[in-house]
Structures are given as C-alpha cells and as structure tokens.
Amino acid sequence: MTEKRLEVSRDKIEEMYKWDLGQLFDTVTAWEQRKKEIASELEKIASFKGTLTRSGEDLFTALTFLSNLTKEFLRLYAYASMWSDQDTRESKPMQLRQEMTPLQTQLSALSAFVEPEILTLTDAQLAQFYHTEPRLETYHQYISDILRRREHTL
C-alpha cells in the first residue's frame, strides 16, 4: 500500500521553515541593481590579463578582485536560485535565475586566462612573490591546486 503525500501550499508553511532571502538581498530591486554593478565589474577583469606574473602584489590584487567578484556573483545566484526553487510556477524568480547563466558564462570566459598565467610561474618566482607579498598566502591553496595539475595541463 502506498502512502498519499499531501502537498502543502507555500503560504501555509510557517516562516521558520522558509529561506530568509532578505539575508542575501532586501528586495528584487536591490538584487537587480547589484547584478548591474557586477555586470559592469566584469569588464575590469581584462585589465589583469598579462599582469599576474609581474609581481606578488599584482597577482594578489587580481586574485582578490576575482575572488570578491565571484563571491558577489554567487550571492546573486543563490538568491535567484533559492527564490526560483520556492515556487517553480512563478515566472519572475525563474527569469532572475535564467539571467545568471550569461553572467556566469561571461565571468568564466573573461577570467579564463588566470590559471594559464599562474601555470607559467616558476617555483622561484612564486617563492619570491610569497616573500614580497605576504598577503598572497591567502591564495596559497588555490595556487597550489593549479600548480599540482601542471603536468596534466596542456
């Protein structure tokens, strides 16, 4: 014998069991404004191309910019995704979620130079970079993971 599941309308669910999307963005308007800002920030990524191997400071600056941009992108994506998942019948949340796909593609395409540039660094260069820019240690694991795959990268 199979049990019958009762579907409960979202408006009948207690608030304590719902996501508080307000922790990500207060309003859809705030989300849309931040999305515009992030979209314009993406254009700045190109300014870092060809600079990652110049100095530890340049590498740190680029990685910090990309890290912060990625975190903000993920905050946008989480809001759109979670709102869309709340009620898949609603079109506006689905629209926001779909708007994230081209933004993600653009972020990935524009930052595609990062790993190849890091792969060109020698161990001596990296040691010097870590020595002259101690804040670069923040990205030690990230850089190590890239270099660990060096011999398997074309």
Residue-averaged pLDDT of the chain:
92
pLDDT at site 134 = 98
User: Is residue 51 in a domain?
Assistant: yes
pLDDT at site 2 = 67
Work out the pLDDT band at 33, boundaries 50, 70, 90.
very high
User: Is residue 39 in a domain?
Assistant: no
Work out the pLDDT band at 104, boundaries 50, 70, 90.
very high
User: Is residue 66 in a domain?
Assistant: yes
Give how many domains the chain has, as a whole number. Answer: 1
CATH number for the domain that contains residue 127: 1.20.140.70
Instruction: Look at 15 and 104; give whichever has higher pLDDT.
Output: 104
Check: CB of residue 62 under 8 Å from CB of residue 142. no
Longest dimension (CA), the chain: 70
Residue 101, CA distances (Å) to 35, 80, 105 in order: 12, 11, 6
User: Is residue 15 in a domain?
Assistant: no
Instruction: Write out pLDDT tens, residues 10-29.
Output: 777 788 887 888 899 999 99
Can you give the residue range of the structural domain that contains 92? 45-152
Work out the pLDDT band at 89, boundaries 50, 70, 90.
confident
Q: What's the CA gap between 99 and 94, in Å, rounded?
A: 9
